[in-house]
Homo-oligomer: A and B are copies of this chain.
Amino acid sequence: MSVNIPKPTAERLSQLARLLEQRKNKSMPISSAEIEQLTGWPSNTIRKDISTLDTGTQISTSSGYDPAKLLEAIRKTFGLSNMAFKCCIVGLGRLGSAFLDYGGFQESSFTLVAGFDSNVNRVEILKADFPLYPTFKMKEVIARVGITYAILCVPPAQAQATAEKLVECGIIGIVNFTPSILSVLPGIEVENVSVIDALGALNARLAANKTKTRSEL
């Protein structure tokens, strides 16, 4: 069931989940038109996306979707129902330490459970809701706690080496905040997060818009 969700659909649904998590009014139905208004995606597409979920139970009324049920359906489809995936931050410089008090994890299906830095001093000074360790404890902690994903924030020069070490330790997915391009073993997934790429994407889209005739409202 739900074997093949198109990648763009998966991305939209992930963001939709985040939107639902944040939404104030947890019980008021949300319509595809409202989602269009909030996100800019056509309501048609949204309905099609939602139709790829296997909901089991009834999810919509005549005035829209039940947000809680919709959120649950998305989570179930992506295999993140009840359990939260455990993540660690690697590299606690300015960028890495910014996540120590980042609120976004609160409602999500991911939790931060550890941070690592090679600078022992920094590990001791920084405060967080979860323990911070010097790098040499990485292997032990990742195995013991059962950490799945890593958020990589080390300096660019160390990125590739650190990534390899993380994979050795059992990490299967890396969110790469460094500007380095990582190459990893097959089966391991990397998601690159880069301001420069984001700016590039913006720019590409705006350049494309200029060419197009304005067929949008």
Which residues does A use to contact B, with CB under 8 Å? 3-5, 7, 10-11, 13-15, 17-19, 22, 37-40, 78-80, 85, 87, 93-95, 97-105, 108-110, 149, 151, 156, 172-175, 179-181, 183, 186-187, 189, 191-209, 211, 216-217
Residues of B within 8 A of A109 (CB): 200
Nearest B residue (CB) for A188: B206
A196 to B174 CA separation, bound complex (whole angstroms): 12
Give the distance to chain B from A156, nearest Cβ to Cβ, in Å. Answer: 7
- Contact status B78-A200, CB under 8 Å: yes
**Known interface pairs A79-B203, A186-B216, A189-B202; A103-B179 also in contact (CB < 8 Å):** yes
Q: Please indicate which of the listed interface residues A14, A95, A97 has the most CB atoms of chain B within 10 Å of its own CB.
A: A14
Nearest B residue (CB) for A104: B179
A189 to B78 CA separation, bound complex (whole angstroms): 28
**Known interface pairs A39-B181, A98-B93, A208-B5; A203-B105 also in contact (CB < 8 Å):** no
Nearest B residue (CB) for A3: B211
Residues of B within 8 A of A3 (CB): 211
Q: What 4 A-B pairs are tightest by C-beta distance, nearest first?
A: A14-B200, A94-B98, A104-B179, A10-B204
* Sample of 17 A–B contacts (CB below 8 Å): A7-B204, A10-B208, A37-B183, A39-B181, A78-B204, A94-B98, A94-B100, A95-B95, A99-B195, A104-B179, A149-B199, A173-B203, A175-B195, A189-B206, A191-B198, A191-B199, A193-B193
**Known interface pairs A198-B175, A205-B189; A183-B98 also in contact (CB < 8 Å):** no
Give the distance to chain B from A82, nearest Cβ to Cβ, in Å. Answer: 14
Give the distance to chain B from A98, nearest Cβ to Cβ, in Å. Answer: 4
Give the distance to chain B from A158, nearest Cβ to Cβ, in Å. Answer: 13
